[in-house]
Structure formats: C-alpha cells, structure tokens
Amino acid sequence: MNDSAISINDVALDYPRKKKGVGLLREFITGRFKKVPRKDRWFRALNGINLDIKKGEVVGIMGPNGSGKSTLLRVIAGIYAPDEGSVEVEGRITLLAGIGTGFNQDLTGRENIKLTGSIFGFDSKSISDMEEGIIDFSGIREFIDDPIRTYSAGMRARLGFAIISNLEPDILLLDEVMSVGDHEFRKKSRARIDELVQGDATVVIVSHSKSILKSMCDKVYGLHNGEIVTDGEPESAFEFYESEKE
C-alpha cells in the first residue's frame, strides 16, 4: 500500500428497501447473501467508490442527507462489508459516529472511559494512565461520576471525542461530531486533530459544515447517491454541496 492509509477499490454496498427492526434483521439473516434479483427490493447505498487516502491526510466527505457518507465511514471501519470491491486499511481505526454512540447509558462517564478503552484493546494500566488526560480534555470533570444518561448531547460528544482522540488511533473517523460543543471545545478538538496528524495519523471527517472542512481538510470529496462526484479539491466539493441545497 506504500504511503496509503486507506485504499478503497470499486466498492459497492446494497441495502434492503422498506425493512426495519425485525424485518431488517430477518432480511440480513435469511437473504443478505442470497439476494433475490429484484431491484425494487434493494437500493445501492454506495456505488463504485474509488478512493486513496494517504497517511497523515485529513479528508472531508460532504453531501446531502442520504448520500452515503455515514455508510462509507462504516465500510472503512469494517462495520459493514462491501458487496463488491475491497477496502484496505493500514493501522488501528477508531470511529466516532453520532453523539455518544457506543456508551453504556447506565454507567458513569469514568466507567465508560474504562469500557471503551478495553473494547479497543488497552489494558487496565494503560487506561488508568490515560484517564486523567481524557477527563481534563472533556471539561466535564464535575459530572464524570454521574451516569451517562444524565449527560446532555454536548457533554456526551465532549467525552466521546476526548476518549477516542486520546486512544491515539492511526486512522480516526469522525461522523458529524466536530460541530458539537462550544467554541473553545471545538478549537481544542481541532488542535488535537492537528497533533494526531503531525504524528502521522489519518483523519476522515463527515460534516455538513463548510467552515470546519475548509479549516481542517487537505481534500474534500462530494458524495451524491452513493458516488463520489468531485475530485478532492475542497472548493469543488463546496460548490457541489451548495448546488444540492438550492
């Protein structure tokens, strides 16, 4: 892979239409790998994605709702397996998607730090060594021993970013989380990403915010109907996105 951190080759992914809950689970268990060849039963969430992201790059993905942005991040993270094509990654990946995704709502903030660290393979000593730094970064020390269910969305986002960024991933995937929190926390978060990139980490950010992507990203790609429609030049992606909003 040379200097590539993420190499995506002709990736396609299909979802079943009009299925949710038990119906969706049944579709995946009984029919996911034996698809009935009826186009009206499936829609193509990603279609022929080709993308090469170099080590140390900060890459943005933007597009209208339903364009496939979050699905693409989950394919990169290995949560979804593509139906066609391949994804190769080099290094440890962490994904922060949504507000407080992955937290146990009944555990305290401190307990969730330990839980998340263990999920990512860190031993208890390593987690203990990181704990104070995570709490300081989050800025919610006075609430750290309260259950997560009592946190506001902003507090959960602060803690989530503090944990994930302090795990020092090789590849950091952020899905619509950079605009949460006050100005000072967003400023601190951007500085933390700069630190990670200087250490050769690779960052992929999904966001609707032109200002965030413009200030942080080396390249920005526009996504539409599961296809990349711009060349990575940030201004091209911004122009595309503005045209979609009209």
**Per-residue pLDDT tens for 6-40?**
999 999 999 887 655 555 555 555 555 445 555 56
| pLDDT tier, 97 (very low <50, low <70, confident <90, very high otherwise) | confident
70 and 135 share a domain? Answer: no
CA dihedral sign of residues 96, 100, 101, 105? positive
The verdict on 184 and 243 lying in the same domain is yes
102 in a structural domain: no
In a domain, 206, yes or no: yes
Q: What is the mean pLDDT of residues 225-242?
A: 95
Share of the chain above pLDDT 70, in %: 87
Q: Do 117 and 237 fall within a single domain?
A: no
Structural domain count, the chain:
2
Q: Given this model, what pLDDT does residue 193 score?
A: 85
Task: Please indicate, yes or no, whether residues 44 and 80 belong to a single structural domain of this protein.
Answer: yes
Q: Estimate to the nearest angstrom the gap between the alpha carbon of 101 and the chain centroid.
A: 11
Q: Is 185 in the same domain as 236?
A: yes
Arithmetic mean of pLDDT over the chain: 87
Same domain (yes/no): 83, 49: yes
CA atoms of 235 and 38, how far apart (whole Å): 39
Kindly give the interhelix angle for 153-166 and 183-198, rounded to the nearest 10 degrees.
Answer: 20
Question: What is the mean predicted confidence (pLDDT) over 139-146?
Answer: 96
Which domain range does residue 148 map to? Answer: 107-167
State the CATH number of the domain containing residue 178. 3.40.50.300
Q: How long, in residues, is the chain?
A: 246
3-state secondary structure of 87: strand
Residues 79, 159 share a domain: no
Residue 88 belongs to some domain of the structure? yes
pLDDT of residue 120: 85
Within-domain flag for 99:
no
Report the pLDDT value the prediction gives residue 108, as an integer from 0 to 100.
Answer: 97
Domain end residue (candidates: 167, 188, 211): 167
Q: Which residues contact 141 (CB under 8 A, 6 or more apart)?
A: 135
The answer to the question of residue 98 being in a domain is no
Do 59 and 160 belong together in one domain? no
Pair 21, 132 in one domain = no
The verdict on 156 and 71 lying in the same domain is no
Provide mean pLDDT across the span 73-77: 95
How much helix, strand and coil, in percent to the nearest 5, is found in the chain? 40, 25, 35
Look up the pTM and report it: 0.82
Encode pLDDT of 162-207 as tens digits: 998 888 889 999 988 776 667 788 888 888 888 888 888 999 999 9
> Of 127, 148, 167, which residue is a domain's last?
167
85 and 11 in one domain?
yes
Residue 244's pLDDT is 80
